[in-house]
Structure 1
Amino acid sequence: MDSLFDVLETNNKAMMSIAITRKGQPLYSRAIGYSWYGPVKTQANTKTKYRIGSISKVFTAVMIFQLIEEGKLQLTTPLSKYYPTVPNAARITIAQMLNHSSGIHSFTADSGYTSWLTQKVTPATLLSKMMPAEFEPGTQHKYSNSNFVLLGYIIEKLEKKPYAATLKNRITGKIGLKDTYYGGKIVAANNEAYSYNWQGNWAPDTETDMSIPGGAGALVSTPADLDKFMEALFAGKLVSRASLTQMKTVEKGFGMNLFVFPFKGHTAYGHDGGIDGFRSQAAYFPADSIAIAYTANGVNTNLNNILIGVLSIVFNTPYTVPDFKTTLYKTEELDKYLGVYASTQIPLKITITKKDVVLVAQATGQSAFDLDAVAKHQFKFDPAGIEMVFDPINSQMTLKQAGREFLFTKEK
């Protein structure tokens, strides 16, 4: 495991923290990279706290099920009881919000969302952005952050206190999660990590105002706390066995609000998260009594491949630690790849340019990204699992991603 994280850190592939436990006992923990990357850098440690994005939804779901068990709410309760102005509110149930079959529009999908995500926003403003409805309740499933922002508001209405206070009373204080709480403005002095993206160096990412994500993504935590949370959830310390069964019962890919993560004969339940430059995942393997959680504040590779490596090591299956070796080109050697490439297979053009000795790709309507040269004519962009293989003689390029291949031809 150290070999894997050593190579990730050495090659600037990730800044992250991980914790693995079995039956509540630590198996492995490690933090690599920096919690603050500036003129004076602060090294991350295993107590560094990260924004966990959508893993927050599992905490929200737990509190909703606690309220159901106490008779204060039902899975069949209509949203109109609390927020009648939301489109289709009278036909949307708590259950449909938990498993993303409500049809409520996710405001984070709006094209203009990035223009206001750093600003403090009122609940009334967010409610106005949750329309129109995308489909009739219960007719399909589509992930929507709006569902859990509303569930967070409902928790506040029922408890008559802020989400943060209810979280402490019902979960974090109950099971001793000392490093998990509702986030605010990031405070480096509190060992909270900022997030970054790779631009030849780690550059600061945005900082979402935490008035926005609420019950959908506003929590801060550590991998050790996330492991403890998942263990407590599956040990029946937070909700009943019946409620847990409902949480992990998958319908068309969605649970209430746990997802299934299979790995070579082993099955985990959990959730991943992403907010700004932060990425995270928390998972529990009930049959193996193993909890695994990671939090990242900078990613320059495919995180799924890292997790496959971690799980391979944990379950003692064959795995080769990547070396991330790159091929060095002189700037003039890259000229044969430059140009605009089009494909008859997909309606997308890719423009290839260069910055000194680095090849840069930019697809239509998307941000540019640097390519790593890994072999002759072969380049990769690991964060998105993209591989480009050039054929300069025939003025062609093959794009490989997610097991699919697309042939592009350079325009004259």
Structure 2
Amino acid sequence: MIVANVKEQIHALLEPLVPERRFNGAVLVSQRGSILYSEAWGQANMELAVDNTTKTKFRIGSITKTFTGVSILQLVEKGMLRLEDPVSRFFPQQTGSNSITIQHLLTHTSGIPNYTDDPSMFDWAANPSTPEILIGRFAHKELEAAPGEQYKYSNSGYVLLGAILEQITGQSYADYLQEHIFLPLGMNQTQMDQPSQILLNRAAGYHSDEEGQLTNAPTFDPSNAYAAGAIISTIGDLHLWDQVLYTEQLLTKPSLDLMFTPFKGERDFQYGYGWIIQDTPFGKLVCHSGGIPGFSSVLLRFIEQQTSVIVLSNILQDVSTLGKQLAELAMQPANTIG
């Protein structure tokens, strides 16, 4: 059977990585809505010797931006916001706000410095922050480029998008996602992460030091990532997220097409509205990776093939390469479901 063959190949790829902690997490691979592979490896908590499972909850870091992008486009469809609106409508204190638009924030072309590049971040990031505190960390800094001129990844833009959503809707970013995305899709294991909450199946996060030894990740309160990276989820829930984006349940087709249209980028990729976009031998890839203290993630969506790969790890390490290897296995001609 094709599915059995894919499972065996994926298993053979992952198995040797686990003893050396080159992978520690959960993987889901699907094609045309059918799950080809869904398994967990390694440990969710190494000090307590608790294994990862397919229900383990991982911080997904910047994959959060895909949810922010959809949420903003929902507001645009409702006429509550325009992509051309200047940021000065909402945050006049932001440097360059008259020239920076919602579109610039979505596409990382605002020129606003990335607040998480602050070398002293871990002096303040262990403590919770409000969106207002986060905005205060970059609002008065000089722009690094004229708005719209160049692509430069900036978490700051997505913090502003979350705060703009809150101004417009009167809801917290967390409540908006819960009402308009998580509940309608049955994503019952997904939420904005809150360290104070006792959360079943939450993974602990780890780093690898210069000698390759694992350490507990430094304390990072996810409120400091906010609409740029604070969601916690499972491979199963992210599969629900992946699948709904092939439908018009959340956005109309014109908005979906716009979201996945390249705007600007770097040598080997472009960026749309909350999504990295690449041309590959397998057709158009829309994806996002995530990295946050103790965790790494990637969501790959090969649109024409309707093949998706979700990799969540509770070690901060590169999982994007692994994700693409898994995708290649799933899309080998012998394995592709016709």
Superposition TM-score, scaled by structure 2 size: 0.89
**Separation (CA, whole Å) in 2 of partners of 1:15 and 1:250:** 32
Map of 1:297 onto structure 2: 314
1:14 aligned residue? 23
Residue number in structure 1 paired with 2:142? 132
Q: Give yes or no for the alignment of 1:308 onto 2:324.
A: yes
Structure 1 residue 190 and structure 2 residue 190: aligned?
no
Describe the superposition over 1:318-340 as per-residue Cα deviations: whole angstroms up to 9, x where unpaired: 9xxxxxxxxxxxxxxxxxxxxxx
Q: 1:158 maps to which residue?
A: 168
CA distance in 1 between partners of 2:328 and 2:308 (Å)? 14
Pick from 258, 280, 304 the counterpart of residue 246 of structure 1: 258
Contact 2:298 2:323 (8 Å CA) reproduced? no
**Selected match of 1:203 from 201, 204, 215:** 215
How far is 1:124 from its partner?
A: 3.0
CA contact (8 A) 2:291 2:316 kept: no
Whether 2:116 is the aligned partner of 1:100: answer: no
Q: What does residue range 113-152 of structure 1 map to in structure 2 within 5 Å?
A: 113-130=121-138, 131-152=141-162
Aligned twin of 1:270: 287
Structure 2 CA distance for partners of 1:56 and 1:136, relative to 1, 3 Å: same
In the alignment, which residue of structure 1 is the partner of 2:244?
Answer: 232
> Does the 8 A contact of 1:24 with 1:228 survive in 2?
no
Between the two structures, name the one with larger relative contact order (CA 8 Å, sep ≥ 6): 2
String of CA shifts for 1:129-159, please: whole Å, max 9, x gaps. Answer: 1122211111111110000011011111111
| Deviation by residue 1:225-272 (Cα, 9 ceiling, x = unmatched) | 112102202222211111111111112222112112444333321211
Find the aligned partners of 2:183 and 2:247 in 1 and give their Cα distance. 17
Change (3 A) 1:46 1:186: farther
Q: Residue type matched to 2:11 in 1?
A: D
Measure, in 1, the Cα distance between the counterparts of 2:109 and 2:316: 31
Q: Secondary structure at the match of 1:194?
A: coil
For the residue of structure 2 that corresponds to 1:167, the secondary structure is helix
**Alignment counterpart, residue 45 of structure 2, candidates 36, 43, 63:** 36
User: Aligned equivalents of 2:197 and 2:44: distance in 1?
Assistant: 11
Equivalent residues of 2:61, 2:296 under 8 A apart = yes
State the match for 1:177 in structure 2.
187
- Out of 269, 280, 284, which is 2:301 matched to? 284
1:167 aligns with 2:183: no
Residue 212 of structure 1: CA displacement?
Answer: 1.2
Is the 8 Å Cα contact of residues 61 and 231 (structure 2) preserved in structure 1? yes
Using the TM superposition, give the Cα deviation of residue 280 of structure 1 relative to its aligned residue in structure 2, in angstroms: 0.6
1:194-250 CA-partner distances (Å, limit 9, x unpaired): 111234543111232122111100001112211210220222221111111111111
**2:131–2:159 contact (8 Å) kept in structure 1:** no
Moved more, 128-137 or 217-226: 128-137
> Which ranges in structure 1 are unaligned for 5 or more consecutive residues?
319-412
> Corresponding residue for 1:109?
117
Contact 2:308 2:327 in 1 (8 A): no
Q: What SS does the aligned partner of 2:24 have? A: strand
SS in 1 for 2:245: helix
**Whole-angstrom distance in 2 between the partners of 1:167 and 1:210:** 16
Larger radius of gyration: 1
Aligned to 1:74: 82
Contact 2:57 2:232 in 1 (8 A): yes
User: Does the 8 Å contact 1:96/1:137 carry over to 2?
Assistant: yes
User: 2:248 is matched by which residue type in structure 1?
Assistant: G
Structure 1 counterpart of 2:324, one-letter code:
I
CA drift at 1:163: 1.0
Q: How many equivalent residue pairs?
A: 316
* Shift of residue 285, structure 1, vs aligned partner: 1.7
1:326-361 deviation digits (Å, cap 9, x = unpaired): xxxxxxxxxxxxxxxxxxxxxxxxxxxxxxxxxxxx
Amino acid corresponding to residue 275 of structure 1 in structure 2: I
